[in-house]
Structure 1
Amino acid sequence: MRNFSRYFSIILLFFSLNTVFSQKGKFEIREGHFFLNGKPFTIYSGEMHYPRVPSAYWKHRLEMMKAMGLNTVTTYVFWNYHEEAPGKWNFSGEKDLKKFIQTAQEVGLYVIIRPGPYVCAEWEFGGYPWWLQKNKDLEIRRDNKAFLEECRKYISELAKQIVPLQINNGGPVIMVQAENEFGSYVAQRKDISLEEHRKYSHKIKEMLLKSGISVPLFTSDGSSLFKGGSVEGALPTANGESDIDVLKKSINEYNGGKGPYMVAEYYPGWLDHWAEPFVKVSTEEVVRQTELYIKNGISFNYYMIHGGTNFGFTSGANYDKDHDIQPDITSYDYDAPISEAGWATPKYNALRESFQKIQQNKLPDIPKPIQVITIPSIKFSKVSCLFDLTDRMKPVKNAKPLTFEDLNQGSGYILYRRKFEKEQKGKLEIKGLRDYANVYINGAWKGELNRVNKKYDLDVEIKSGDRLEILVENMGRINYGAEIVHNLKGIISPVEINGNEIYGNWEMLPLPFDTFPQHTFKNKPIAAHSPVIQEAEFTLDETGDTFLDMRSFGKGIVFINGKNAGRYWSTVGPQQTLYIPGVWLKKGRNLIQIFEQIDFHHTVSGIDHPILDQIVK
């Protein structure tokens, strides 16, 4: 009888919990305020992007937010993360958006979705699939029939994931954003009329509504950019606005003279580029601004509360006329309150104290951090020059160099090569380099070309019968500003020597590195500055997070048990380590594979902390 009673109690508990989590609610904007189930509600949100965090860690990071005092999590949805190839959609496994939303609900957080279709986010191409550029009739972010049709397909697929999880259907989703920071784009694209801009943004809003989105919509822009970015029927919110009076005045002007007042992006840290110092924002400044928002009843979202990592080739780039491109580092730590590895920082602890002051109940305990291990030195047992691999590949031939897009390749590298019948001596110039290249003659390194510091030429001496090889890396498509429409990769202009185009007999060897290439390693001597592929096995007695120390290497990518951990560029910094999640590691045998472009090293090891702020001059 005792066992039956226990069983009956478990059944009742299950049904009661199920009723709570499926109970329909209501989130609305009225009388100048947010209302949740009929009661005034202030949004205290933190942004976290599920693709930047292993799914096994989602709950831990969300519990960190809850323990800090937040009531909502905000996430972008990256279109190109889910449409892996034209018409091939993936919302499963690590890409299970529904699971992320449901996990937030389990933790007790509401959810705000920012689906774009454009997202910025220091993410490759601002979230757009690279192959959109292959359609010559399509122009992104514009009232363009071909583009809007692709947007419609995306929003339709996305709606299947989030509509069932809106609050009015029993889920935690309380708001959805229409487009993203469109006002800044309008300000930069003065070649397009404001009328056309607004036609486009309103069509995106209508697509969201027709797809079944029924929670309130909002836009987010700088407070001075609402004229181009606001959308009728969507709440305007101000990014980065610290002045309460300016915030209210801006929103009042475009929201019928009333609130609610929200800062959709408040920056407790900032983004980081290769070859530039790591940016930090002081704890004191963040706490002061947070308490000012709270005191004035302002809703806000920390961008970012937890940044995570740009694994693989997902990092984007900014455009700057002084550099042409500013590629983002692999770490998306962002100097956020919750570190890249999910640790509570001093900033986190100080903010938690601020939120505890306004809570009636004691905040939940801070979750314990994931265990950290150090990996002893690993010696590479298999090493080979990349040219040993490419010499056995079948090239694509063309009279002039083809772009990544021409070769139907989204990311990675392309080796361009050409044999010369006549002697050439002088300045090799590639004005259309996108983005980084090493140049070789007969396999011997001759120099580096680099869009970051606008180095597009070097002196060469080519004899009859010599082979020129140019290994080009795509360092991430531009994700912000007007230059986003100019995002082809590879060599996109003629290759010239002394001003004369080198035309005819070009060979292209695509190296997407979507997986690490299979190769029979011969362990021959490696010439200085040769591109190298290398691998080794290592054994672990226990697993945990770790940080690969790449300070002895040059520039390349690392795979751990088949997963691309991202780029390193140790010769410039500021990032000198790569975060390796413990869930990628196994007790027993593990595999590490590295593609190194410029400075091969025989060993690598893991350390127990990140190094993200060491610039190399």
Structure 2
Amino acid sequence: LPHQRTQPRRPAHRRHPRRTRPQPLAPTHNHSLITAHPVNGHKIKAAGFNGVSLYFDWAYHSPAPGKYDFTGVRDVDRLLSLTDELGLYVVARPGPYINAETTGGGLPAWLKTVPGRARSSDPNYTAAYRDWLAHIDPIIAKHQVTHGGSVIVYNAENEYAANTDPAYMEDIQRQARAHGIDVPISHNQCCDASWTPTWATGQGAVQIPGVDDYPQAFECRDPDTWGTWGGGVTERLSPDAPAYAAEYQAGAIDANRAGYDKCRELTGPNYMKVYYKSNLITSGATMFGYYMAFGGTNWGRLAQPNDVYTSYDYGAPITENRQLTTKYDEFKRQGLFFTTAAPLTKTDPAEAPTSDNPAVHTEARANPDTGTQFVLIRHADRKTDDDQSANLTWNTPDGTYNLPVALQGRDAKILVAGYDMGGQRLVLHS
């Protein structure tokens, strides 16, 4: 998907997994945060993002059964008109359950008085969520890219992997289609797909199954923690859909009250360089949603009190008071690379350069049409603070070269070879 959107294009419901441009998405905590502060949208776009992932909180809009408020800061139509104007694509996430550390995961408080089990095909719950979708879906449908708007994906439910009900997942999608949703439907699987990828196949399967991954966990008291929850490699869950990092860690809840600046340090530029670049080359993922770009403030009783408090700063690249941080700078460096290196649109695993230093790890991908190569270099031990150097033997499209490289502690680089730039050719860069 292009960084600068001019004319809307109709996305196919089935997309070849290698042909989708790397797409950085910037999740925001609540849709009012862009509506109330449109400058955030400009900041997000300036960082190289070409889309936002937006929750729509059922409880925020429905104070009582059958009653809905889409006025003022709850005006979804106005929000999506703003994303249309900004040229930011949207992954729309109306739940019905959204989590996002909100009270009840976005389920309204009055739902507790409705008999039956939530997040199931229980008839009483079904009647309630169908009414919500009947109100929110048509607003989303009006702003789909297929109708000249910005919504490119509709996300059904959220991290729905325990006590599952396939009929429920299927019905959410059926309701969406009946309400005019014609863009691909996705789901965000928790976490790192170590649970069974329930919604990739079978009843209730979605067209673009995605993965949520939080490799740094949430121990903000110890910001030197490194890779507590694994290597952070996005798994492709369906052979005929893009590998989709639906939520990739870009901050943390302040569960131990260390302060969000510590959470920002835990998920700071060094982590971003190592994990984001490694995931791009190792997985070949082409859709990325980074949680969060901007968290803002939990007004009223929006916050789920066991996990968060009034501030939902989240250690994000844009702070609660809308200041830019060093994380924003790193996002901008990577985002502009993603959106300008066109051959990243389509890559396969490729032969990596050999390193004469086992402490320096290499991986590679190449575009099968242009031959352009993208080579990752990082520490074999991602946790190390040591500086390392190596000599690479690199078989590029234009010949074999010996290339000296250097890495600082907790760093990673992507090197490019065989890249045509207008009337010039980049043989390789170091």
Same fold (TM over 0.5): yes
Q: CA deviation at 1:259?
A: 3.5
Aligned partner of 2:94 in structure 1 is: 115
Q: Match for 2:194 among 204, 224, 229?
A: 224
Residue 45 in 1 paired to residue 20 in 2?
no
Aligned partner of 1:166 in structure 2 is: 144
Q: Match for 1:74 among 50, 53, 56?
A: 53
Tell me the distance in 2 between the aligned counterparts of 1:114 and 1:104: 15
**SS of 2:252 mapped into structure 1:** coil
Instruction: Select between 220-229 and 140-149 the one with higher mean Cα deviation.
Output: 220-229
Contact in 1 for aligned 2:98/2:157 (Cα 8 Å):
yes
Q: CA deviation at 1:83?
A: 1.1
Residue 329 in 1 paired to residue 301 in 2?
no
Residue 289 in 1 paired to residue 275 in 2?
yes
**Identity of counterpart residues, as a percentage?**
27
Aligned partner of 1:62 in structure 2 is: 41
**Deviation string, structure 1 residues 401-457 (Cα, Å, up to 9, x no partner):** xxxxxxxxxxxxxxxxxxxxxxxxxxxxxxxxxxxxxxxxxxxxxxxxxxxxxxxxx
Aligned partner of 2:295 in structure 1 is: 307
TM-score by length of 2: 0.67
**Deviation string, structure 1 residues 149-175 (Cα, Å, up to 9, x no partner):** 111100000022111111111111000
Aligned partner of 2:390 in structure 1 is: none
Tell me the distance in 2 between the aligned counterparts of 1:234 and 1:258: 9
Aligned partner of 1:557 in structure 2 is: none
Q: CA deviation at 1:29?
A: 4.4
Q: Match for 2:76 among 89, 92, 97?
A: 97
Residue 182 in 1 paired to residue 166 in 2?
no
Where does the alignment leave 5 or more consecutive residues of structure 2 unmatched? 216-229, 342-430
Contact in 2 for aligned 1:263/1:300 (Cα 8 Å):
yes
Contact in 2 for aligned 1:25/1:169 (Cα 8 Å):
no
Contact in 2 for aligned 1:309/1:333 (Cα 8 Å):
yes
Aligned partner of 2:329 in structure 1 is: 349
Aligned partner of 1:262 in structure 2 is: 244
> Taking structure 1 as reference, are residues 357 and 168 closer, same or farther at Cα in structure 2, changes over 3 Å only?
closer
Contact in 2 for aligned 1:47/1:302 (Cα 8 Å):
yes
Tell me the distance in 1 between the aligned counterparts of 2:297 and 2:333: 27
Superposition map of 1:577-592 within 5 A: none
**Deviation string, structure 1 residues 75-132 (Cα, Å, up to 9, x no partner):** 0100011112222211111111111111112112111101110000011110011011
Aligned partner of 1:599 in structure 2 is: none
> Taking structure 1 as reference, are residues 106 and 31 closer, same or farther at Cα in structure 2, changes over 3 Å only?
closer
Where does the alignment leave 5 or more consecutive residues of structure 1 unmatched? 1-19, 318-325, 362-617
Contact in 1 for aligned 2:59/2:107 (Cα 8 Å):
yes
Tell me the distance in 2 between the aligned counterparts of 1:244 and 1:213: 35
Aligned partner of 2:119 in structure 1 is: 141
Decide which structure has the larger Cα Rg and report it: 1
Aligned partner of 1:28 in structure 2 is: 12
Kindly report the root-mean-square deviation, in angstroms, between the aligned alpha carbons of the 2 structures.
2.5
**SS of 1:182 mapped into structure 2:** coil
Residue 240 in 1 paired to residue 219 in 2?
no
> Taking structure 1 as reference, are residues 212 and 359 closer, same or farther at Cα in structure 2, changes over 3 Å only?
closer
Aligned partner of 2:386 in structure 1 is: none
Q: Which amino acid aligns with 1:123?
A: T
> Taking structure 1 as reference, are residues 328 and 358 closer, same or farther at Cα in structure 2, changes over 3 Å only?
closer
Q: Which amino acid aligns with 2:76?
A: L
Aligned partner of 1:124 in structure 2 is: 103
Contact in 2 for aligned 1:124/1:316 (Cα 8 Å):
yes
**SS of 2:146 mapped into structure 1:** helix
Superposition map of 1:149-548 within 5 A: 149-183=127-161, 186=162, 189=163, 197-221=165-189, 222=191, 223-230=193-200, 231-240=204-213, 247-248=234-235, 250-251=236-237, 255=238, 257-273=239-255, 278=260, 279=263, 280-295=266-281, 296-317=284-305, 326-360=306-340
Q: Which amino acid aligns with 1:63?
A: H
> Taking structure 1 as reference, are residues 182 and 229 closer, same or farther at Cα in structure 2, changes over 3 Å only?
farther
TM-score by length of 1: 0.47
**SS of 2:63 mapped into structure 1:** strand
**SS of 2:139 mapped into structure 1:** helix
Q: Which amino acid aligns with 1:56?
A: A
Tell me the distance in 1 between the aligned counterparts of 2:141 and 2:302: 27
Tell me the distance in 2 between the aligned counterparts of 1:89 and 1:353: 42
Contact in 1 for aligned 2:155/2:187 (Cα 8 Å):
yes
Q: CA deviation at 1:360?
A: 4.3
**SS of 2:288 mapped into structure 1:** strand
Hey, which of these two has a bigger chunk of strand by percent?
Answer: 1
Aligned residues: 312
Contact in 1 for aligned 2:22/2:338 (Cα 8 Å):
no
Q: Which amino acid aligns with 1:96?
A: D
Tell me the distance in 2 between the aligned counterparts of 1:81 and 1:31: 34
